[in-house]
Each structure stands twice: as C-alpha cells, then as structure tokens.
Amino acid sequence: MVDYIRDEEEQVELIKEWWQKNGTATIITVVLAVAALIGWRQWQQHDAGQSAAASAEYQQMVESLQALSPGQDAGPVADRAATLIEDYPSSSYADYARLVQARLAVDKGDFKAAVEPLTRVADKGATDALQYTAQLRLVRVLLQQQAYDEAEKRLQGSFPSAFNGMALELKGDLAKARDNAQGARDAYAEALDALQDGAEKDRVQMKLDDLKSAS
C-alpha cells in the first residue's frame, strides 16, 4: 500500500512537472484543433447553403428560359444568368449561365456577343463536359462569323466519344464552308460512324446526301 501511494505521488509530481513545461502548448493545440473543427463545419454549412442558393437560382433561370416564347423579352433570363455569374463565378452554375447568355445572343443573331461567354467556358469551364460543350458551340458561332481559321484551331486534337461525332460533323461543315467537298464528305462519313442513331445522325446523313447530289 505504501509503495502504491509513493508511486502515485511520484506520478503526480511528474505530471505537474510536465504540465509546467508543456501545458500552455497543449492548451493552444487543443484550442486550435477545436477551432479548426468548428470552422470546417461552419464552412461546410456555408458551402452547402451557397450550393443550395445557386441551385435554386439556376432552376429559376432554366424555368424562365423554358417559358420563353418567340419574340418574348429575355431580360429576366439574362438577369438571372448575370446573377449566377456574379455570385458564383467559378461554379458549374456560372458556366451554365454563360452558355445561356450565348444562346440568348445567338437567338438574337448577335454571334459576336456569344463568343466571350463560350470562350470562357471552353477554356476554363468547371468540368470537362462543360468545356467540350462550349468548345463545339463556339465552333458553330465561329462558322457563322466565317472565322474559319479560329474554328479549325478549336477542332484540333481529340474529343471524347460523347462529343466526337459532333466534332466530326463540324469539321465537315468547316470543309464545306471552304469549298472542300471531298473533305466534307469524309468528315460527315466519319461522323456517321461515331454517332448513335437519332436526330443528330439523321442530320449528318442529310448533309452528306446533299453533297453527293450536288457532285
């Protein structure tokens, strides 16, 4: 029993000595760890709140866009798109808003105004899918502007299978615009091999048939 008491007293003295040397640092470490945990949870809550708000704003933009009728004022849609870009500039929602801005510009025949938002998403989009989508839409706009060299640059390199058929179709469109009928036929034929059955494949087939009948 005496040995036990002595051992316990020695342990208490060791603890006191250690605390005098390290106690302050330990308190600071614990406090910082707790603060970091609280901060992380608050940040997660804030981020979740931001995402929910962005999602709601995006949904309202899409609904406004779907409700548009030909000739109707697109101001409300444009305003919501601008809000998404301003409040959530680096998010996927902002990129979708830029694609909407481009669509509204194209609907008005203002192809020049469509270039900037499409270029921004094509070069710095939040996801690869958004980048490829914007890249191909940008090529269509460039073809309308007869900016053939820039369109060709945007079509260089490889595209994932989900986008390859559309890219090949645009290569055919570019070749046709440059009066390269054989190049257009080759590209359209490749596009038909890459595309699944559906409206896109039917459209490319019509383009290829038109070239064949014209030759």
pLDDT of the residue at 135: 96
CA neighbours closer than 13 Å in the CB half-sphere of residue 8? 5
How far is the C-alpha of 84 from the C-alpha of 37, rounded, in Å? 30
Which residues does 55 contact at the CB level (< 8 Å), separation at least 6?
93
For residue 203 the two structure tokens come to: 């459209």
pLDDT digits (tens, 9 = 90+) for 130-170: 999 999 999 999 999 999 999 999 999 889 999 999 999 99
Sorted by where each begins, the domain ranges of the chain are: 2-156
Burial class (CB in 10 A: 0-12, 13-18, 19+), 213: exposed
State whether the Cα torsion 199-96-120-158 is positive or negative.
negative
For residue 65 the two structure tokens come to: 């866009």
Fold of 2-156: 1.25.40
For residue 160 the two structure tokens come to: 């994932």
With bands split at pLDDT 50, 70 and 90, how would you rate the model's confidence at 41?
low
Is the pLDDT assigned to residue 71 strictly greater than 90?
no
For residue 68 the two structure tokens come to: 């548009």
How far is the C-alpha of 9 from the C-alpha of 25, rounded, in Å? 24
How far is the C-alpha of 12 from the C-alpha of 215, rounded, in Å? 100
Q: Which residues of 66-82 are buried (b: 16+ CB within 10 A; e: fewer)?
A: eeeeeeeebeebbebbe
Is the pLDDT assigned to residue 29 strictly greater than 60?
no
Asked if residues 174 and 148 have their Cβ atoms less than 8 Å apart, the reply is: yes
pTM of the model: 0.75
Q: Which uninterrupted H or E stretch holds 45?
A: helix 2-66
Average pLDDT over residues 52-60: 84
Q: Which residue from 99, 100, 104 is spatially nearest to 70, judged by alpha carbons?
A: 104
For residue 105 the two structure tokens come to: 């510009």
